Structure 1
Amino acid sequence: MLKQCALLLFFISLFICSCGNDFSPVSQDQSQNPVAISDDTQTESETNEPQANETEPDPQVTPTPPPSQNSLLVDAPTGIWVWKNVEEIIQAEKRETFFDELSFYSKAENISLFLNINTEKISDDSFYQENIASFLEAAHARGIQVHALGSATEWIDNPENAIAKFVVPTLEFDFDGLHFDVEAHLHPSWNEEDNEELLQNFLALAQQVKEASAEQAVYWDIPSWYFKDSAKVMVEGISIGKLIVEENIFPVLMSYRDTAQEIENFSQAALEYLVEQNRDWFFAVETSSAESEDITYAGECLEHLVDDINTLFDHYQKGTAIHNWTTLQELELCEAEE
């Protein structure tokens, strides 16, 4: 019996030895990350492509969302003229859509709206007045500045109308500035040689407006060539552009060209003066298709306009005003076509 047991134990030990390789232990690393690499498999170092992380995310951590397709484009102070559909935009049910559309172009805190004001309704229409007041409140809550925009060439001859119909009524509201689009060269008496009398009236308008505006900031659309030493823009030997700025009026340079370099070239006389005097200003660009190709961004990619605005800001640390909201929205992204 003992002999039989010994033989049985002997055969069992032989069997275990012959099968030992099939039961060799597996390392901890291999069991957790099994990898099979064929001859044509590329490693991470060969492709430089990041490998996907298949680990389940920590439920305590919220993953960072991908960038929005509607991320901002302009990274500079941005003025925008709003001429049309103002009475619709300022209504409560419309303004949120308007603000959302604005956010595509720039940060709210970078935006200054130049809002065209109805000079008849701003004094007498209670519905219009209420909408203006609530629009200003909503804009300010988002960090958007709003300037009252007024435009009438006849104010050059009648400054009292500008004050009575525009300045005084708008001072009753919480605007961030008064913005004038009044240009001397659009006056019927303008000529290409000598406009001193006309320009004296133009300057008097600016002076009276500034005085009547009390502490309110005053902005003025000024063609860049108003700063040149040219007889047609001179008053007592000084260019009208310089005289307007010396009234502590903020110039919005109508530097309408379609590249950053051409904008600088066209505005050279104005830039030399403003930089020397350490003044602030806005460049201004055009987007209307009604203008000639060399002065407007109409028909060009939106990216081109944005790049030029950012370039000007990088060079001068000054913002750019875009003329105007309606035609700006017609510019398309080139990358959307690819």
Structure 2
Amino acid sequence: MQNKRGFHFIKIISCLVLIAGVTFSSKTIAQGSVESYESIHGNVEGPIRASWVWDTTQIEKNPQEVLKFAVDHDINTIYLQINRDVKIPYYTDFIRKARAYNIAVDVMDGRAAWGLTESREQIASFLDWIEAYQDSVEPNEKFAGIHLDIEPHVHPEWKTNQASVITQWQGNVQYIVDRAALMNMPVAADLPFWLDNYKIPGSTMAVSSWMIRKFDSITIMAYRDTAAAIYNVAKDELAEASQLGKTISIAVETKQSKEGDFITFYEEGSAYMESQLKLVEKLAAEHSSFKGFSIHEYTSWKTLKE
């Protein structure tokens, strides 16, 4: 873990070797217009339009390509997975450039095992890294929030000891949101739309209901390829979040899926996807919780046929 002096030293070096700007002919956006990361996180004017960047080495190899894609596709939020092999100057440089285009960058991570108490040390390390980073960089180089993708339902113990996994998951979520509050960072999480079929042990409350209450925002993985189906699987969470004053981003898939063609827009392409998202937006507009869409994910979306 680097101290503040180390971070500042690296930043000075990065300014010398990573100074190249980003210029996109397709759009012109005022540079340096963002004063605080809170001003552009998720609650930017208009709906959220987000995507995941799982391959963090892209901010080393092709940062301008990532940002150009974001600008061209009206993305205003990027969920960027941390990769400790990627040096700090690449993060600061990428976030600074993204922020100049009014794009928020959330730090993202998670795995199925994070639903278990035994993974608390890994989670603590993740949060320690974030805290050290946030404390050591300039305001326009900070992450705007934390985004989690835990999904313990794919862990083997979900099938053998589900009640215990849910309880452990609750404990880890509480730990994360408490730590995030101390850092003054909002926390969002990916949840499958069917999580309302499962109950908190010893309670009649659905697991999804508990999670909506705990997180600042939820991304509902409504992985279907028609507007009606997408809205139908997300509408219950949208209604509940509206009552609780929370926000929901509806996520759709662009990767090829072994579960069936109806899961993803991989077969139909980007034009059809955009037409369906417009229809979903009309259907979801009645819910105050609806804040836009998250498209999974950058690499597959980029290669989606036109």
Alignment of 1:24-63 (within 5 A): none
Partner of 2:200: 234
**Number of corresponding residues:** 247
Question: What secondary structure sits across from 2:215 in the alignment?
Answer: coil
Shift of 1:70: 6.2
2:6 matched residue in structure 1:
none
Q: Is the 8 A contact 1:167 1:178 kept in 2?
A: no
Number of the residue aligned with 2:112: 153
Structure-to-structure mapping, 1:10-29, within 5 angstroms: none
**Match for residue 277 of structure 2 among 309, 325, 334:** 309
- Cα distance change, pair 162–211 in 1 and its aligned pair in 2 (3 A): farther
Taking structure 2 as the reference length, the TM-score comes to 0.74
2:301 counterpart (316, 324, 328): 328
Trace 1:16-165 onto structure 2 (pairs within 5 A).
76-84=47-55, 86-87=56-57, 89-91=58-60, 94-106=62-74, 110-118=75-83, 121=84, 128-157=87-116, 158-165=118-125
Higher-Rg structure is 1
- Which position in structure 2 is the counterpart of 1:170? 130
Partner of 1:36: none
1:269 to 236, 239, 242: 236
Are 1:203 and 1:240, in contact at CA under 8 Å, matched by a contact in 2?
no
**C-alpha distance in 2, partners of 1:302/1:94?**
22
How big is the shift at 1:159? Answer: 4.7
C-alpha distance in 2 between matches for 1:290 and 1:248: 28
Distance in 1 of aligned mates of 2:65 and 2:221: 29
* Equivalent in the alignment of 2:7: none
Using the TM superposition, give the Cα deviation of residue 176 of structure 1 relative to its aligned residue in structure 2, in angstroms: 0.7
- Cα deviation, 1:54-92, whole Å, max 9, x if unaligned, reads xxxxxxxxxxxxxxx968xxx8421101112x22x223x
Are 2:185 and 1:216 equivalent residues in the alignment? yes
**CA–CA distance in structure 1, aligned partners of residues 123 and 151 of structure 2:** 17
Amino acid at match of 1:153: A
Task: Give the TM-score of the pair, scaled to structure 1.
Answer: 0.67
Counterpart of 1:283 (choices 247, 250, 267) is 250
Could you tell me which amino acid in structure 2 is paired with residue 248 of structure 1?
Answer: F
SS of 1:251's equivalent in the other structure is: strand
Unaligned runs of at least 5 residues, structure 1: 1-68, 334-338
**Stretches (4+) displaced over 4 A:** none
The one-letter code sitting in structure 1 at the alignment partner of 2:178 is E
- Quote the offset at 1:94 in angstroms: 2.8
Offset of residue 288 of structure 1: 0.7
* Structure 2 CA distance for aligned equivalents of residues 162 and 259 of structure 1: 38
Q: Deviations over 1:206-228 (max 9, x none)?
A: 1100011121111100011112x
Q: Distance in 2 between matches of 1:240 and 1:164?
A: 23
How far off its partner does 1:272 sit?
Answer: 2.8
